[in-house]
Structure 1
Amino acid sequence: MALDTERKELLLGTLRKLGKEDFESFKFFTDLPQSVLNTDIPVDIAYELIRKHGENVLEETVKILKKIGNNNLAEILHNGMLKIKVADLAVHEDEDDDQIGRLKRDLQENLLSLYSFVPEGNTKRWEQQQSLADVYTELNVTYGADVSPDKRHEVLQMETCALTKKSIRPCDIFESADGKRRPIRTMLTVGFAGIGKTFLVRKFAMDWASGNTNQDVDFIFPFTFRELNMEKGKSFTLAKLIRLYVSESRRMSEETLNNIFDSLQKSGNRDYKTSRIKILFVLDGLDECNFKMDLKNEMKMDIDVKQAYPLEVLLAHLIKRNLLPCARLWITTRPATVRYIPSNLIDSRTEVRGFSDSQRLEYFRKRFPNDERVIQHIRKSRTIFIMCHMPIFCWISSTILQDHLDKGKVGDLPTTLTEMYTWIVFYHLEVWKERLKTEYSRYVKALAKLAFHHTMNKRQIFYEKDLEDSGFDYGQDAKHCGLFTEVFKEVRPLRRIQQGKMFQFVHLTIQEYLAALYVMMMCSHHKKNVLADSRWSLKGFLMPAKQKLITQVQLSALQKASESEGNLDLFLRFLFGLSLACNQELLGELLKAPQDCGQSKSDTVELIKKSIKQNTPEKNINLFYCLSELKDDSMLEQIEQELHSRNLSWRNMPNEMWSALAFFLLTSDEPMDWFDLKKYSASAYGLEMLLSVVKAFEKSVLTDCHLDKRSCHLLASVLSSSSNLRFLDLSHNDLLDEGVEILSKGLASRNCILQVLKLTKCKITKQGCTELAKAIKLNPSNLQELVLSENDLSDEGVTSLSKGLASQDCTLKVLDLSSCNITKRGCVSLAEAYKLNPFHLQEIWLWCNPIGEEGESILTEFSLRFPLRATFDPFRQDGF
Structure 2
Amino acid sequence: MDSATSRDSFQIIHTMHKEALLAHRKQSEDTSTLLGGQSPKKLVDDGKYILLMTTGTEVTEKSEQENLQSCQNAILTALPENRDQPKPVIVVGPAGFGKTTALEKLILDWATGKHLQHFSWVFKFTFSYLNVQKGVMSLKELLLQTHSHLSPESLALVLQKPQSLLFLFDGLDQYKNNLDLPTSHTLCSDPNQPSPVPVLIANLVHGTLLQGAATLLTSRPTTPTLESLDGHRVELLGFLKPQRNDYFNSFFSDPTAANRAFQNMERTLGFYEICTSPNFCWTTCFIYKSLMEAGESLPETLTQLFVCITGHLIRALSLDKDHARDLMSSLGRMASHCCLSPHSQCSTEEMTSFGLQQFLTTPTSLKDFLHIDGAPESKDCSFSFHTQMMQEFITAVSFYLDESEEVNVEDLLEKHGGCMEFLDLYLVGLAEPSQRKPLESHLGMWNPDRIVDLNSWFRSTTEKALQSYQKERHLHYLRLLHQSQNKKLVKDNMRSARGINYGGLSVQDCVVLNYTVTCMEEWDQLNLYRSIDLTEEKASLLVPAMSLSRVINLGQSSFTAGALNHLALALRQGRTIELDMSNNHMGDTGFKLLCTGLGDCHIEILKLPVCELTDACCEDLVAVLTSGRSHLRVLNLRANALRDPGLIKLSQALGSPHCKLQELQLQMCEFTGESMKALSTALSSGQSQLRILDLAQNQITDHGVDWLVKALQHPCCQLQSLILFDNDLTAACCAGVAAALLSECCRLTELDLSVNELGQEGALQLLKALSKPGHPLEKLSLVRCELNPLVFKELGVLLSNGTSRLKSLSLGLNKVGDEGAKHLWVALGDQRCRLEHLDIEMIQLTDASIGDLSTAVSASGSLKSLVLKNNLLTDRSVPALVRVTQDSRTMQEMNLQYNDFSEDVFELMDQCAKIKY
**TM-score (norm. length: structure 2):** 0.49
Alpha-carbon distance, 1:671 to partner: 9.2
Aligned counterpart, 1:577: 429
Letter in 2 for 1:420: L
**1:101 counterpart residue number:** 11
Matched, 1:400 2:287: yes
What CA distance in whole angstroms lies between the structure 2 residues aligned with 1:576 and 1:664? 29
Q: Distance in 2 between matches of 1:141 and 1:127?
A: 15
Letter of the structure 2 residue corresponding to residue 112 of structure 1: L
Amino acid at match of 2:144: R
Q: Tell me if the contact between 2:37 and 2:283 (Cα under 8 Å) persists in the aligned partners.
A: no
AA of the residue aligned to 2:406: K
Distance 1:394 1:583, change over 3 A: same
> 333, 356, 360: which one pairs with 2:240?
356
The whole-number CA distance in structure 2 between the counterparts of 1:363 and 1:602 is 42
Is the Cα–Cα contact under 8 Å of residues 140 and 167 in structure 1 kept in the other structure?
A: yes
Indicate if the aligned counterparts of 2:306 and 2:393 stay in contact, CA closer than 8 A.
yes
Shift of 1:296: 8.3
Query: Residue 463 of structure 1: CA displacement?
Result: 3.6
Structure 1 equivalent of residue 392 of structure 2: 512
Superposition map of 1:402-801 within 5 A: 402-409=289-296, 412-432=297-317, 436=320, 438-457=322-341, 459-473=343-357, 478=362, 484-491=366-373, 500-522=380-402, 525-529=403-407, 552-553=408-409, 555-562=410-417, 564=418, 567-588=419-440, 589-594=443-448, 597-598=451-452, 604=458, 607-608=461-462, 610=464, 624-631=478-485, 636-637=513-514, 668=538, 670=540
- C-alpha change, 1:419 and 1:173, in structure 2 (3 Å) is same
Q: Deviations over 1:345-396 (max 9, x none)?
A: 21x2212223332332233333251424323212211347753422322332
- Structure 1 residues 573 and 131: alpha-carbon distance in aligned structure 2, compared to 1, 3 A threshold: closer
- Within the candidate set 133, 152, 155, 1:257 is matched to 155
Question: Contact conserved, 1:280 with 1:327, CA < 8 A, in 2?
Answer: yes
The CA deviation string for residues 175-199 of structure 1, in whole angstroms up to 9 with x for no partner, is 4389999875421110001211111
Contact residue 111 and residue 209 of structure 1 kept, 8 A:
yes
Specify the alignment match of 1:241 in structure 2: 142
2:94 to 192, 211, 217: 192
State how far apart, in whole Å, the 2-side matches of 1:617 and 1:421 are.
Answer: 28
Look up the equivalent residue of 2:50 and give its one-letter code. Answer: E
Deviation readout 1:95-124 (Å, 9 max, x if unpaired) = 443333222212112211222455152279
Higher fraction of helix:
1
Distance 1:586 1:669, change over 3 A: farther
Contact preservation (8 Å) 1:195, 1:354: yes
Helix, strand or coil for the counterpart of 2:7?
A: helix
Preserved CA contact (<8 Å) 2:188 2:199:
no
Which residue identity lines up with residue 421 of structure 1 in the other structure? F
Aligned to 2:30: 119
Q: Deviations over 1:632-652 (max 9, x none)?
A: 77682499899x9996789xx
Distance in 2 separating the partners of 1:296 and 1:619:
46
Q: Does structure 2 conserve the Cα–Cα contact (< 8 Å) formed by 1:140 and 1:353?
A: no
> Residue 187 of structure 2 contacts residue 208 of structure 2 at CA under 8 Å; is this kept in 1?
yes
Structure 1 position 329 matched with structure 2 position 210: no
Distance 2:377 2:390 in 1: 29
2:129 counterpart residue number: 227
**Residues 55, 234 of structure 2: 8 Å contact kept:** yes
Counterpart position of 1:280: 166
Counterpart contact for 2:56–2:237, Cα < 8 Å: no
What letter matches 2:181 in structure 1? L
After TM superposition, list the pairs within 5 Å mapping 1:45-124 onto structure 2.
Answer: 93-116=3-26, 117-119=28-30, 121-122=32-33
Q: 1:373 to 1:639 in 2, by over 3 A?
A: closer
Aligned partners of 2:23, 2:142: CA distance in 1, in Å?
Answer: 19
Indicate the residue corresponding to 2:206 in structure 1.
Answer: 320
* CA deviation map 1:401-435 (0-9, x unaligned): 233223322xx3211111111122223334555x5
Of residues 99, 112, 119 in structure 2, which corresponds to 1:217?
119
SS at match of 1:281: strand
Where does residue 138 of structure 1 map in the other structure?
A: 50
Instruction: Name the CA distance, whole Å, in 1 between partners of 2:51 and 2:241.
Output: 12
Long gaps (5+) in structure 1: 1-90, 147-160, 266-274, 530-551, 673-678, 684-702, 706-880
Q: Summarize the Cα distance change of 1:177–1:669 in structure 2 as closer, same or farther, 3 Å threshold.
A: farther
SS in 1 for 2:218: strand
Contact 1:195 1:391 (C-alpha < 8 Å) held by counterparts: yes
- TM-aligned CA deviation for residue 174 of structure 1: 3.6
Count of residue correspondences:
517
Q: Cα–Cα, structure 1 residues 617 and 319, in superposed 2: closer, same or farther, change >3 Å?
A: farther
Q: Which residue identity does 2:234 align to in structure 1?
A: T
1:452 and 1:518 in contact (8 A); partners too: no
Change (3 A) 1:586 1:121: same
Name the CA distance, whole Å, in 2 between partners of 1:447 and 1:474.
12
Distance 2:150 2:247 in 1: 44
Which structure has the larger Rg? 2
Match of 1:742 in 2: none
Q: Which has the higher contact order (CA 8 A, sep 6+)?
A: 1
Runs of 5+ unmatched residues, structure 2: 495-511, 543-552, 558-582, 586-917
Distance in structure 1 (CA, Å) of the matches to 2:527 and 2:127: 54
Contact 1:122/1:489, CA 8 A, preserved across alignment: no
Contact 1:368 1:374 in 2 (8 A): no
Say which of 306, 321, 327 aligns to 2:192: 306
Say which SS state the counterpart of residue 212 (structure 2) adopts. coil
TM-score normalized with structure 1 length: 0.51
**SS at structure 2 position matched to 1:598:** helix
Partner deviation per Cα, 1:734-781 (whole Å, 9 max, x = no partner) = xxxxxxxxxxxxxxxxxxxxxxxxxxxxxxxxxxxxxxxxxxxxxxxx
Matched residue of 1:167: which SS?
helix
Sort the Cα spacing of 1:471 and 1:339 in 2 relative to 1 into closer, same or farther, 3 A. Answer: closer
Identity %: 20
Letter in 2 for 1:607: T
> SS of 1:668's equivalent?
helix
Which residue identity lines up with residue 207 of structure 1 in the other structure? Answer: D
Q: Which amino acid aligns with 2:13?
A: L
Q: What's 1:167 paired with?
A: 67
Give 1:219 deviation, angstroms.
0.5
CA contact (8 A) 1:190 1:352 kept: yes
Report what 1:823 is aligned to.
none
- Tell me, yes or no, if the aligned pair for 2:335 and 2:391 is still in contact at 8 Å: yes
Residue 283 of structure 2 corresponds to residue 389 of structure 1: no
Distance apart, 1:243 and its partner CA: 1.5
| Aligned residue type for 2:67 | S
How far the C-alpha of 1:242 sits from its partner, in A, is 1.3
- Per the alignment, residue 380 of structure 1 pairs with 267
